[in-house]
Every structure is written in C-alpha cells, then in structure tokens.
Amino acid sequence: MDISLRINGEECALSVPASRTLLEALRDDMALTGAKNACNQGVCGSCTVLVDGMPVNACLVLAVNVTGRDITTIEGLGEGGELSVVQQAFVDAGAIQCGFCMSGMIVSATAFLAHNPMPSRDEIRTALSGNLCRCSGYVRVFDAVALAAQRLSP
C-alpha cells in the first residue's frame, strides 16, 4: 500500500505491506534504526517514537494506520547536528550504559517534559514506567530527566 507521512519534518512516501509496523517501516524502509526492536509486544518501550507529539510504541502501530501523521524519532530530536537538551542531559548525567533502551527513554522524556516542564521525581518515574532498562540503570536516567528539566526551565 502507498502511504505518505511526515518523518522528522520531512514528507515521506512509502509503499508497505499492510501488516508492516511503523517500527519496521522506520528501521527497514527508512534506515532510521534509532528506535529499537526488542519485545515487539509494547512492553519494553525501546521502540518509542512520537506520533503527533505523543509517545507510542512503534511496534504496536501499523504504518498504514499513520498516514498523514507527524512522526518524530530519536534522529529528529537534535537540530543542526547538535544534540537536543534532553539528549545532552543523558550524556552529562552518565545515564547511558549499553544504550539499547536509550532512544526510547529519551523520546519518552522529551514528550513528557514538553507537557510537564517541572516534574517531581515520582512523576519522572511514572512517565518512564513504559521504558525498561535491562542494565537496570534507572537512577541516572531519572537524574538526566531532572537535569534536562532544569536546563529547559526559563
């Protein structure tokens, strides 16, 4: 099926089978491999992307069902080759261990901070509850989100 959608601000026309998930389309058709495929069941959050600004599990969304939508992946967060504030905060806080879950964590955190710029620690935990880190390095991740919130505050 022929579909068109915006990915990281760019209009894209794709031809995909109806059963192809957004995650597969991003990774295999668009070579945007930042969103990761781990559980393929909507449990781990490593495939998190934004659809019209809302975080979703790209593995649970069919590409044909997001025609006309605005998709943002980890690749679309920075500008002009620079990391976004949230990305830089993850680096500075030492939040990254093996890195596999990071794109999902950062995309979730970005969407969350856009809605809740001054979150409590508990709110950060809840917002990232759909992102599993099997290195179990959550403490630095929460530190990173708090740091990003601080840097983003006016």
Contact flags string 77-116 toward other proteins, x per CB under 8 A: -------------------------------x--xx----
Nearest distance in Å: CB 133, other proteins: 13
Q: What is the crossing angle of helices 138-152 and 85-92, to 10°?
A: 130
Query: Residue 58 or 94: which CB sits closer to other proteins?
Result: 58
Contact flags string 55-84 toward other proteins, x per CB under 8 A: xxx-xxxx-xx-x-----------------
Q: Which of residues 134-153 bind other proteins (CB under 8 A)?
A: none
Contacts 24+ apart (CB under 8 A), 116-120: 117/149, 117/152, 117/153, 118/149, 118/153, 119/145, 119/146, 119/149
